[in-house]
Amino acid sequence: MVLAEGTEEVGILLASGRENLIGGKYTEAVALFEKARTLDPTNQEAAFGLSAAFIETKRYEEAVPLLEVLNKSVPDNPMVKNNLAWALIHVKGPIPGGAGRAVKLARSALIDVPSDYSIWNTLGEAYYAAGDFEKALRAAQSGLRLSALAGITNSPCRELVSRCRKAAGAASLDTMNSDRPQ
């Protein structure tokens, strides 16, 4: 079998990109995945890796278009849905329907991987962004329980639970106060 020109180099770049991403070297991962995409613009692994590195470096505006294309080409991939939901709720500036769409994407990802605490965390963040603090709290608590079962002690779900409790309490106080006669 003859490999297409650049295929071996793309494979090396992808492996190095994954290694850097796992190792927390996100800027290096961006460069490696970008080079892989230059050599093979249709490579889905390079696009997903680049979008993940963009998310880790808080470059959500750059991650969203990559994830939108991936979501169209591999609509059943729960991690693509999860990452797109995360990017939509963290992008600067409002995206019309972004929080609601993020909720739908995260819920869809949970159907495929209900035991993934990070997807529960994304769902909680999406509900939080949509202003549904009670559902956000329930999702965050589910994520926290699952992360504890996995032995993860510094789960991002812990901070989200705290934020949700404050927001849910403030929202219920606002409702109670608005019901009082003036």
pLDDT digits (tens, 9 = 90+) for 37-83: 999 999 999 999 999 999 999 999 999 999 999 999 999 999 999 99
| Full residue range of the structural domain in which residue 101 is found | 90-182
Residue 134 lies inside a defined structural domain of this protein: yes
With 0-12 CB in 10 A as exposed, 13-18 as middle and 19+ as buried, what is 154? Answer: exposed
Question: C-alpha dihedral over 17, 21, 25, 26, to 10 degrees?
Answer: 90
Query: Which of 152, 147, 91 shows the shortest CA–CA distance to 119?
Result: 147
Residue 132 lies inside a defined structural domain of this protein: yes
| pLDDT single digits (tens) 75-104 | 999 999 999 999 999 998 777 788 999 999
Residue 108 lies inside a defined structural domain of this protein: yes
pLDDT score at 6: 64
pLDDT score at 2: 36
Tokens of 162: 């705290």
Residue 19 lies inside a defined structural domain of this protein: no
Query: What is the pLDDT of the chain when averaged over all its residues?
Result: 89
End-to-end Cα, the chain, rounded Å: 81
How far is Cα 85 from Cα 79, in angstroms, rounded to an integer? Answer: 10
**CATH number for the domain that contains residue 107:** 1.25.40.10
Residue 96 lies inside a defined structural domain of this protein: yes
% pLDDT > 70, the chain: 89
Q: How confident is the model at residue 3 (pLDDT cuts 50, 70, 90)?
A: very low
Residue 148 lies inside a defined structural domain of this protein: yes
Residue 13 lies inside a defined structural domain of this protein: no
| pLDDT single digits (tens) 128-143 | 999 999 999 999 999 9
Displacement of CA 58 from its chain's centroid (Å): 11
Residue 174 lies inside a defined structural domain of this protein: yes
Number of domains forming the structure of the chain: 1
Name the pTM for this structure.
0.86
Q: Quickly count helices (H) and strands (E) in the chain.
A: 9, 0
